[in-house]
Amino acid sequence: MSATLTMVDRSVRLTRRNVDTMIMSVVLPLLMMALYVYVFGGAIDTGTAYVTYVVPGTILLCAGYGAASTAMAVADDMNSGMIDRLRSMPVRASAVLTGHVAASVARNAVATTVVVGAAVAMGFRPTATLLDWLLAAGLVLLYVLALSWLAAGLGALARSVESASALSFVMLFLPYLSSAFVPTETMPAVLRAIGDNQPVTPIIETVRGLLTGTPIGSAGWIGPAWAVGLLVVSFVFATTCYRRRTTR
Amino acid sequence: MILEATGLRKRYGDTTVLDGIDLAVAEGSVLALLGPNGAGKTTTVRILGTLTRPDGGSARIAGFDVSTQPRRVREAIALTGQYAAVDAQQTGRENLTMIGRLLRLGRRGATTRADELLERFELTEAADRRVVTYSGGMRRRLDLAMSLVAAPRLLFLDEPTTGLDPASRATMWGAVGELVRGGTTVLLTTQYLEEADRLADRIVLIDDGRVAAEGSADELKARVGGDRLDLWFADRERLERAAVILDAAADLHETRIGLPTDGSAGQLHHVLDVLRAAGAGPDRVTSHRPTLDDVFLGVTKRTLVTGADR
Ligand SMILES: Nc1ncnc2c1ncn2[C@@H]1O[C@H](COP(=O)(O)OP(=O)(O)O)[C@@H](O)[C@H]1O
Ligand SMILES: [Mg+2]
């Protein structure tokens, strides 16, 4: 436990000091949101103010951008002397992964707060009760954890920091093929089939429903089920990749 | 013996990287693994440091088996790898306290230990600067300090001074000397003869995954015999002919032939006469006390520095 706490402490400190990472995970989603709201928003009809529509998707998009940083940080440790130092010490060296995942959660908490704050400034008016906020935050947390473990696994798999970042960019595209920015009904049939059946859409619909009172329907259980399922798979994937990489 | 290894073998795919390495290190001594790039030094250290499993052979450190009791081995060792394992975006002090906390010294204990080590490695002034601002020598010192947080019984240093300027190298040598006086056992690898000569009680020459020779620096030099005669050639063709005539190991990179000598004028006359008669006379003649380089050249027919084949 003390090893895990120490590594969490380290990763959070490193992430705070990494300007690229902070820009990537906070400023970029913010710019994207502004772009969507002010440039495309007028042309997209979602039945509500576009900023209200786009907030849940932007929050999930943050997690995607943050994941690239997590994958790179893990790859850096796995390909530098750090992992060897830890493995030659009488400590549980895999705590290094937990540290980076925790830092990713911390980063996302900051990014989400900033995004929601900026959205309010752009006219976002949530109708959520405290309980709704907590449920939405819980679901987003599950999603962020799942993506972070997936990213940690990719980082352990990659032979270099560059390829880790390339691998994790796939995660950025899921939100675009979902109901994050436009309702899936407006998509061509093939894309719509993908959009309706991938994990991000029901998670976003659930968060949207909780925050702004839109109907949630079956997304209310499909979304969380996806999030939990993804988390389990990602965690197993990450530990497997780590173990393969460090098998003596 | 704090470390005993027998018949260590390692293959990567079709290449045999270690082909039966035997090592023994007495507690409190310094052993140098000396060999050119690619000889298998790092692989050996990684096996002994519980990072890699050998394909054959076994090793015990502080009485524990490296393969089956890695956890116990890790409590006795510390490893400073070939590339500095420090967080560039943490300060020197933060790097050290991180290791202390991992080793369960507690917050207070870790802070105290960090202060001691910063002082000892002359990093106190830079302690609260991020490591990105450190010079190569400072990074290496911090790296070494991080390995000493737990006061290991056996310390592995993989090429501790490769890439350092002479001043930083001297500082590292001083630090290793001090450690050894404090009772720590050290196993270091190096490509530098001078380093092995200066620091090690025993030297193991390793070449192509095998032990080529071992002993103290003096014992190894004694194997070469007395003083060495160097014949220098401006052109390679003459050098090669002379090498055949004298049946001696030639150091092609340096365009030099090395011969044992008893220091007599008679021997010198004889060698020069023979070579001149064959039209293969040298351009310059010098002599020197035997060095480890001579040992290496004699044993492996290769120069250590360049690794160039004869
Ligand atoms: N993980 C690995 N996979 C494949 N080959 C390796 C690996 N590690 C080392 N080698 C090879 O083993 C040989 C010895 O390497 P190493 O132990 O690093 O030598 P040294 O430290 O003496 O320079 C080299 O030829 C190197 O290419
Ligand atoms: Mg090496």
Name which of A56, A77, A76, A58 is nearest A66 in CA terms: A58
Please report the sign of the dihedral spanned by the C-alpha atoms of residue B246, residue B247, residue B250, residue B252: positive
- Here the ipTM equals 0.87
Where does the pLDDT of residue B308 fall: very low under 50, low under 70, confident under 90, or very high at 90 and above? very low
**CA-CA distance, A139 to A206, in Å (whole number)?**
9
Partner-chain contact A90 B75, CB within 8 Å: yes
Please indicate whether, in this complex, the C-beta atoms of A88 and B79 are within 8 angstroms of each other. yes
Helix (H) or strand (E) holding B204, with range, is: strand B202-207
Per-residue model confidence (pLDDT) at position B301 = 58
State the best of A89, A96, A243, A244 to mutate against chain B, taking most chain B CBs within 10 Å.
A89
- Determine the distance in angstroms separating the CA of B279 from the nearest CA of chain A, rounded to an integer: 55
Q: Which range (A26-40, A108-122, B45-59, B61-75) has the least confidence?
A: A26-40
Hey, what are B104's tokens?
Answer: 């369960």
Residue B234 DSSP SS3:
coil
pLDDT, mean over chain A: 89
Say if residue B197's pLDDT is above 80.
yes
Of A5, A17, A82, the CB nearest to B89: A17
CA distances from A172 to A28, A57, A114, B122 (A): 12, 12, 19, 46
Q: What is the average per-residue pLDDT within B113-118?
A: 96
Hey, is B10 helix, strand or coil? strand
Q: Does the structure show a pLDDT above 50 at B306?
A: no
Q: Are B114 and B96 in contact (CB under 8 A)?
A: yes
**Cβ neighbours of B71 in A, within 8 Å:** 90
3-state secondary structure of B33: strand
Query: What's the average model confidence in pLDDT over A124-146?
Result: 93
Cα(B136) to centroid of ligand 1, in Å? 24
Please state the rounded mean pLDDT for residues A114-137.
92
CB contact under 8 A, B77 and A88: yes
User: Does B124 score more than 90 pLDDT?
Assistant: yes
Instruction: Please give, one letter per residue, the 3-state secondary structure of B76-99.
Output: HEEEECCCCCCCCCCEHHHHHHHH
At residue B310, does pLDDT exceed 50?
Answer: no
Q: Please give the model's pTM, rounded to 2 decimal places.
A: 0.85
Q: Which helix (H) or strand (E) holds B229?
A: strand B228-232
For position B164, what pLDDT does the model report? 85
List the domains of chain B with CATH numbers: 3-221 (3.40.50.300), 226-289 (3.30.70)
Q: Tell me how far apart the alpha carbons of residues A152 and A96 are, in angstroms, rounded to a whole number.
A: 10
Q: How far is CA B232 from CA A8, A137, B244, B256, in A?
A: 61, 78, 15, 5
Nearest ligand for residue B43 CA: 1
Q: B152-190: per-residue pLDDT in tens?
A: 999 999 999 988 888 888 888 998 998 999 999 999 999
Using a CB-CB cut-off of 8 Å, the residues of chain A touching B101 are 2, 5-6
Question: How confident is the prediction for chain B on average, in pLDDT?
Answer: 88
B window 137-156, beta carbon within 8 A of A: 143, 146-147, 150
* CB contact set of B244 (below 8 Å; sequence gap of 6+): none
Question: pLDDT tens, B244-293?
Answer: 887 766 555 567 787 777 778 888 888 888 888 888 888 888 888 777 77
Ligand 1 binding pocket includes B190 (Cβ within 6 Å): no
- The model's pLDDT over A172-197, given as tens digits with 9 standing for 90+, comes to 777 888 888 888 888 888 888 888 88
A142: CB partners within 8 A, 6+ apart: A224, A227, A228, A231
Whether A194 contacts A177, CB under 8 Å: yes
